[in-house]
Structure 1
Amino acid sequence: MKKVVLATALSLLSLGAFAAEHQVKMLNSGKEGTMVFEPSFLKVAKGDTVKFVKVDASHNSASAIVPAGAKPWKGKMDEEIAVQLDQEGVYVYVCDPHKMMGMAGVIQVGKPTNLDDAKKESEKLSKTFVMNKDRLTKALEQVK
């Protein structure tokens, strides 16, 4: 009986051992210009966590588009937030105060099950940008 309990405990612990944590920086200026998430595109495995790291002040991370059944998120201003992504698909997120400046990014979790819908909704979102209008399109082009 002890062997069964030990084997079960070890297998449960090993499930969490395979999940990874990825970081996305919230920046005033980066490789892709001003008001950016870096990287702007990230591909992760189902169950991984993405941590949005405060580098510069006055940013947050908020989901704008999520796959069906996925949990949306909305971080507070100047808050580092960690989001566990348990649903496959394409996630689009923004910085609320800098959304019109094109501060947006894309996360692909496993298979891009909602890619067509994400592209359609992202096109609408990009029309609200006053600058960096192609940033979201470029990030979505990396989805495979």
Structure 2
Amino acid sequence: MLNNGKEGIMVFEPAYLKAAKGDTIKFVPTDPAHDVSSVVIPKSAKAFSAPSNKPLTIKVSEEGVYVYECKAHLPMAMVGVIQVGNPTNLKEAQDRAKELAKTFAMNKDRLDKYLMQVK
């Protein structure tokens, strides 16, 4: 969770991650004032959330697409995507991305770009 990264301001790095079922993912608030919460998760997966300035470790136990956000910086499109195995819920993630993009004041296509990497 960074204020400035390779893809601009207010980013998760990496913002798109392909993981295997059972992998552990760690969210680290490198810069202050960032939180993380799941927005879209596969069926049977557990929602996740961590308050501002707190690291979070999750185990991705279900195949599909996980979309997450930093609520504090959502208007700047601080979002990310994890793909675990087959993208079983890709349509749901794409539909939700359209709704989320309406709340973005900048980087309106950022989430779409990340979802285009899902194969």
Same fold per superposition (TM over 0.5): yes
Indicate yes or no: 2:96 matched with 1:96.
no
Name stretches of at least 5 consecutive residues in structure 1 with no aligned partner. Answer: 1-25
In the alignment, structure 2 segments of 5+ residues that lack a partner are none
Name the TM-score, length of structure 2 as normaliser: 0.98
CA distance in 1, matches of 2:97, 2:45: 17
Q: How does 1:1-144 map to 2 (within 5 A)?
A: 26-144=1-119
What is the Cα deviation at residue 100 of structure 1?
A: 1.2
- Residue 27 of structure 2 aligns with an amino acid whose one-letter code is F
Structure with bigger helix share is: 1
> What's the TM-score, normalizing by structure 1?
0.81
Secondary structure at the counterpart of residue 49 of structure 2 = coil
**What's the CA shift string for 1:90-122, capped at 9, x where partnerless?**
000000100111000000011100111110111
**SS of alignment partner, residue 54 of structure 1:** coil
- Residue type matched to 2:44 in 1? G
When the two chains are superposed, the root-mean-square deviation of aligned CA atoms in Å is: 0.6
2:32 match: secondary structure: coil
- Report 1 or 2 for greater relative contact order, CA contacts < 8 Å, sequence distance ≥ 6: 2
CA separation in 1, counterparts of 2:31 and 2:92?
32
Cα separation, 1, equivalents of 2:95 and 2:9: 25
Runs of 4+ in 1 over 6 A off after TM superposition: none
Give the equivalent residue in structure 2 for 1:16.
Answer: none
Query: Which residue of 2 is the match for residue 6 of structure 1?
Result: none
State the number of aligned residues.
119
Aligned-partner Cα distance in 1 for 2:48–2:75? 19
